[in-house]
Chains A and B, each alone.
Chain A
Amino acid sequence: MASEQLPSEFDVVILGTGLVESVVAAACSRVGQRVLHLDRRSYYAGKWASFTFNGLLSWIEEQSKITASEEHDWSSQLEDGEDLIGLTTGDVSQVTNLQVFNYTSEEEEQVPSLEEEAKEDEEEDEGGADQTPAGETQEEGAPSSESEVKEEINTPAQKSQPEKSKKRLTYAELLKEGRRFNIDLVSKLLYSRGALIDLLIKSNVSRYAEFKNVIRILTCRHGNIEQVPCSRSDVFSSKLLSVVEKRMLMRFLTSCLDRDTPLLYQDFAERPYLEFLQYQKLSENLQHFLIHSIAMTTPDTPTAAALAATQHFLKCLGRYGNTPFLFPLYGLGEIPQCFCRMCAVFGGIYCLRHSVHALVVDKCSSRCKAVIDSTGQRISCSHLVLEEGCFTQTAPPTRCVSRAVLITDGSVLPTEAEQQVSIVTIPSESPVRMVELCPSSMTCIPGTHLVHLTCQSVGSAFEDLSPVVNRMFRTPDSDHPEPRPEVLWCLYFNMPEGLESEGGELPPNVSVCLGPDGSLGHDGAIAQAELIFQKILPGEEFCPPGPAPEDILYQGEEPDASPAQPGEEPEASSSQPGEEPEASSSQPGEEPDTGTSNQGEEPEASSSHQGEAEASPTCKGEESETSPSQQGEEPDASSSPCTEDSDTCPNQLEDGTQG
């Protein structure tokens, strides 16, 4: 399967399959560049990846291994006037403070072995020290070997609630069903009018993905979880607000949208948002919703910034649902892969477990002429795009994100209604946002929810987030009078945010992509990808729409049943007789070139042609081509009750997947 050698010449070589790299890859490939896209890992999407449960366990194990950089001497590959720049070859995920807690029961939960009990004690000690966790596990930047110790820890059915007859999930079941989890390393949502959604639509990459609307925006206040009213209907039906508050909130939100000239708040532009809201005489209730859930900021954020965030939020309402957010089915890791697929469809070559070891730099122009890959092959390229962390780093990361991933046995705010994806904002010194995913998001198994917590790091992820976890959920360390969902398994870790400018002076034709930032949306990543693309191909269009597959190939049914220009296309006649599978044996020797012209492509896959070739196979050409054949098929088709239905094919296709 992977026996062949790579071609030795490309236009663009890209190392890393994170979101930014993948968007750049798709964009370049789409306009005809020959793209080689590599990842040193065995999986796609790097820090943006989502894993099955078992995959996540392997990832955790990998993080505790220190992968030494291999030393190679590639100087024999150099020609006169060339220099080498070496890249780090070890893994560069820089994840720290990784801790795992397992609260599922084992199959034989009655008789925990001695060993397990011992482990359990050890873990109780640690977890019990909630606010001041044991120092040795919490050292910033220390490679976390702790995870192995805590994995497999078993605290069988402790504090089991008598009212709960639900069967507890065992660890064995978790492992057995593990492939049905899709657990993201990064927790983000898509703003329905954000840059990523726009790009997905514009490029047609959206056809590879389906989404769920984030149905509820929740917040945690006075220890209670409340639903934040944000759409008009929410505001009116909310039981949390008085009539006066409802009116005030509506008036305020309306004015936020109208306010193009910041006249009303100009005195407040740089002053805290809270002061502005107080000045507007909004109640405490409303202040809370507006600051934490709608602007998703803090009370002391400058008013201008908070109002900009509020406007963005409001503008995103209603495009796909009553909240501004979407979440991709199968997890966020799906999105970079959608762009990779697009790149591959337009000729990009993909190779995982394959890396770049060194750059070959021309001494005169100081441009990167080629790379030496991990097999020692020299591959020439005009441009090189690298993920972050390829150059040896001296400075520690400046900003980190604290993350927790929980598998729980229920929603923090159960409803009678169908399963829901929720975002919960939890005010605190470093505001915590929590995304709760339900099984229908295809990220966890029935009977569980997958919960992602994220905040800017103050301390370790455990220090930052475990108090919130204990407050919101039932764990061995929590003590709630009221029922709360139980944590079955959880993971804490810190991940550095994308770092600006690393590695000092780079050759002018080398770009470095930053990793995920701590924000909720994807605008930063998309802006970065577009910038890199424009640096590589100034003046080219960024991700023009790809043809919809149903528009390219064709035969049979067509959306437009009208007999349009019969016989206009020469090849129409050749495809006519053989439409039905039954009639297949007809015409064994048709012209070889019809196949290619059918798709509007050049016979040679030469890169320079791919771009333009693309433009031609639009609906129009196809319509005239296929209409005659449909006529030819008519007698047959009319015998089926599906005829009318098939007339609306492309739309139906989409609706079909919808359900």
Chain B
Amino acid sequence: MAGGSVSECKEYLFKVLVIGELGVGKTSIIKRYVHQLFSQHYRATIGVDFALKVINWDSKTLVRLQLWDIAGQERFGNMTRVYYKEAVGAFVVFDVTRGSTFEAVSKWKHDLDSKVKLANGSPIPSVLLANKCDQKKETTSNTSLMDNFCRETGFLGWFETSAKDNINVDEAARFLVENILANDKGLPYEETNGDRIKLHQETVAAESKSGCC
């Protein structure tokens, strides 16, 4: 998925999935992160495939992050392969005010790991987001419990986030991208994608040869 480099700048395109139960704030997190916006109105995600965030990671690295929402209504967990394929990272989101959405986290993680893997066969890096922390009632933090849960379930880590108050969204993204980049450096690209064709790229050169004779 990495793009070609221009001068000394290395450019990456990373597809990151954002999954979790209905109404946990997946779209809000994406909007907050990409557009710095938050909407109170609940709205199923319509007409939007993914949001693109461009990060000038450092002076030599440009990262284009495609954040793929689960198209709101693919909510029964039956995502197409189109959704999963070639993803290199994932956020699994739950709502701290609704315990049932946390219980579903393991299922989502399991589903994720069964559907997509890195080229070397290991699971894609994923980060757990405990969203809506601004609405959390109890103040006691169960950090060690969550740490354990992440270790057992295979998450790199977890963040308490609030798309509404803009808490930890950038930090979580930064953490995930760091891990994706680390993976990327460790793994040479397996296949050269040079001969892959995107349909809207019919070339003028090819066109001129049209008709063969």
Instruction: Report the bound CA distance from A326 to B37 in whole Å.
Output: 41
Q: Mark B38-76, 1 if CB is under 8 A from A, else 0.
A: 111101111111111111100110101010000111111
A119 is an interface residue with CB less than 8 A from chain B: no
A231 is an interface residue with CB less than 8 A from chain B: yes
Residues of B near A418 (CB, < 8 A) are 195
Given contacts A206-B199, A318-B209, A610-B47, contact A657 B81 (CB under 8 A): no
Instruction: Report the bound CA distance from A357 to B71 in whole Å.
Output: 27
- Rounded to whole Å, the gap between the CB of A419 and the closest CB of chain B is 9
A74 is an interface residue with CB less than 8 A from chain B: no
**Do A549 and B213 have beta carbons less than 8 Å apart?**
no
Residues of A near B3 (CB, < 8 A) are 652, 655-657
Q: Which A residues from 559 to 585 make CB contacts under 8 A with B?
A: 574-575, 577-581, 584-585
A636 is an interface residue with CB less than 8 A from chain B: yes
A240 is an interface residue with CB less than 8 A from chain B: no
**Do A601 and B46 have beta carbons less than 8 Å apart?**
yes
Q: Which B residues from 1 to 40 make CB contacts under 8 A with A?
A: 1-4, 6-9, 11, 13, 21-22, 31, 34-40
Residues of B near A652 (CB, < 8 A) are 3, 11
Instruction: Report the bound CA distance from A99 to B108 in whole Å.
Output: 36
Which of A320, A598, A640 is within 8 Å of B197, CB to CB?
Answer: A320
A92 is an interface residue with CB less than 8 A from chain B: no
- Say which one of A338-346, A383-391, A510-518 lies at the interface with B: A338-346
- Rounded to whole Å, the gap between the CB of A651 and the closest CB of chain B is 9
B98 is an interface residue with CB less than 8 A from chain A: no
- Rounded to whole Å, the gap between the CB of A227 and the closest CB of chain B is 15
Q: How many residues belonging to A are interface residues under a CB distance threshold of 8 Å?
A: 110
Residues of B near A617 (CB, < 8 A) are 47
**Do A654 and B201 have beta carbons less than 8 Å apart?**
yes
Instruction: Report the bound CA distance from A335 to B7 in whole Å.
Output: 37
Which of A208, A210, A321, A581 is within 8 Å of B55, CB to CB?
Answer: A581
- Rounded to whole Å, the gap between the CB of B2 and the closest CB of chain A is 7
**Do B59 and A640 have beta carbons less than 8 Å apart?**
yes
Given contacts A350-B73, A653-B64, contact A659 B193 (CB under 8 A): yes
- Say which one of B125-133, B139-147, B167-175 lies at the interface with A: B167-175
Could you write out 7 A-B pairs with CB less than 8 Å apart? A210-B196, A349-B73, A605-B44, A641-B59, A653-B52, A654-B200, A657-B196
Show the binding face of A for B, using Cβ within 8 Å.
Answer: 1-4, 44, 179, 197, 200-201, 206-213, 230-232, 235, 250, 253-254, 257, 314-315, 317-322, 326, 329-330, 333-334, 337-338, 340-341, 344-352, 418, 439-440, 546-547, 549-550, 552-557, 574-575, 577-581, 584-588, 590, 592-596, 598-599, 601, 603-605, 610, 613-614, 617, 636-637, 639-642, 644-646, 649, 652-659
11 A-B pairs besides A207-B198, A257-B211, A553-B48 with CB distance below 8 A are A201-B199, A206-B200, A321-B206, A341-B82, A344-B73, A347-B46, A549-B66, A552-B47, A596-B39, A645-B11, A659-B192
